[in-house]
A and B are shown apart, each in its own frame.
Chain A
Amino acid sequence: MMKVRNSHVMFAALVLLAVLPASYAATNCTLGSYEKNNVCVTDYLVNSANIALLISFLLVGVVYALAKAFEDARFSNWAQTHLYQTIGTAVILLIYLSASVFLNQALGPAFCSGSIVYPNLGAPPGGARGCSDWTSTQVYVKTYLEDKRTYAVNSARSILALSDCAGMVTSLSVGLNVDVLSYYWSPFGALGSLSNALGMMLTMIAAAVVFLQVQIAVIGMYPGLFGVLLPLGIVLRTFPFTRRAGGAMIAIAIGFTIILPLSYMIVKDIDDKYWNDNCSGIEGISSCWMTAQDTGSIMLDPLLNPLSSNLPTKVINKLKDLFQPGGKYACVAFRMGIAGIILPMLAYVITLHITRGIAELLGADIDLSALVKIL
């Protein structure tokens, strides 16, 4: 029984190790090479990973054979353990490559124009951008993040314009000189608190822009994770001293190329749902004069009606209008604060926890607390 199981395992291992190099092949190039500027270039790193796996398998086989010949249980067990770990690496890699293909070619396009979290949601506002020319989940997520960054940048410009108007009016001082007498008066000094509120919003948007840029850069690292970290992890995993480190690298590559894009698709769904239900955007506020029109001449009211102006009440009412749920700046606050910072943070925490689980499966216990703190 034991002999039958071992031979089945051996056969499976040989099949897997034969299939594994094929999975690295580019569309038009031979095994172990990739296309660069329409020319097939040898990928030494991927080839080294495959060779390291095969050599490791060969050496373990030799040790196992010798241990059996000399009836040494210790080396026999060591060789078996190492063999199962090598096979485990190959199996996990095969599952990873299959999952990657499934995510990019099947799951991603299927939910591109719909929703994972809210199946009845339908197409996102503005159409299903990026679905007709679908390439990969990574490109889709990168496009979504870049759209959010553009939204953040436009929001910052609009709030800066409003802040500029408020600042100009707040700092305005009217001077009256009659012979030797002078009188200076700041009619709109009370609007200073509006500037503080807008400053806080700009600080939040600044943090969102930086974090979005980091997220875009992390998603953009996909070729590096797949083409460098993964093969390097395989090479390191074949040596005893670096086995756990190699497992950690493989786990990180899997987590950031499969789990993270999937988490982002869920974040996008929640973002789109809120947008559908509550927001109409802040388009329209692009200059100070439009702001004045939009606020119904609040800024000019004391000049037009100096005796009956009720500026503080009108400002408070306008602030309520802008910042209440569904108000223009409430939408900005949601998209930047919740959808731009908190939900992606949650996606990263989930990704890192799953990465840690995968690493434990590969025999490595990573302490990712430092990475979580940095993010």
Chain B
Amino acid sequence: MEIGRNSWGFTALVIALYAFLLAPVLLVVPISFSNDPFLAFPPQSWGIKYYLALPNRPALVGAFQTSIVIATTVTILSLAIAVPAAYALARLEFRGRDWLASLFMAPLLLPTIVLGLAILLVFVRVGLLATFPGIVLAHLTITLPYALRVLSTALTTLPPSIEDAAASLGAPPLTVFRRVTLPMMAPGMIAACALSFLVSFDEVVISLFVVGPRLTTFPVEMFRYVETRTDPLIAAASVVLILGTLGCVLALERSIGLMGALGSKRV
């Protein structure tokens, strides 16, 4: 069997490359069922010891709860802020529109290590460091460009003529927005939510700069753990994390399709 117009030898090479690409994620699964006190392959004893140990780690559990609350807050705020912004940029005419659109996308151009340090320096001065609002604000800085891009793509692919029709039939502007524009944006809004949640929940470099000893996020706690110790506990935590992400993505795929969510055209 040939896949498309690829020869056998080439297919074998590409399978090997995929094995390399997927190896780290796939190998985490068997290791998470190791009962060894250290990392070894193959494990000398198998079991679910580390899965059972996870809930007894207050630092990890606390960080997990913090991350869920922060990601949820960031998602709601991202949507509340990005929907009006996307509407203004896609539907209204005003001076400096393109310039503003680029400015709002700019945080993604900056490396996270630089943005994280920059945010730390300002947050120290205004007392936002290691606070809940501070972490939410830092995450919003990078989730808003994603949400804005997805929502703008959704809006620009929708013809304004439907809104114009509603308006010409006498609907007030707010009614047009509520009854016509918002429902049409629904798939884009679901995608923006999922993306904001994943970006916030997975964010680690910027978080490293703005968290504190009393308030830390799950990826930061995992990073700190891996930095100092190597045992299979983090493999178990990783599997839980991967399953959670998979659940999110499948829910997204069910509702609008992954390719649509990433803002590209359907193939």
A, B bound: no
Chain A interface residues (CB < 8 Å from chain B): none
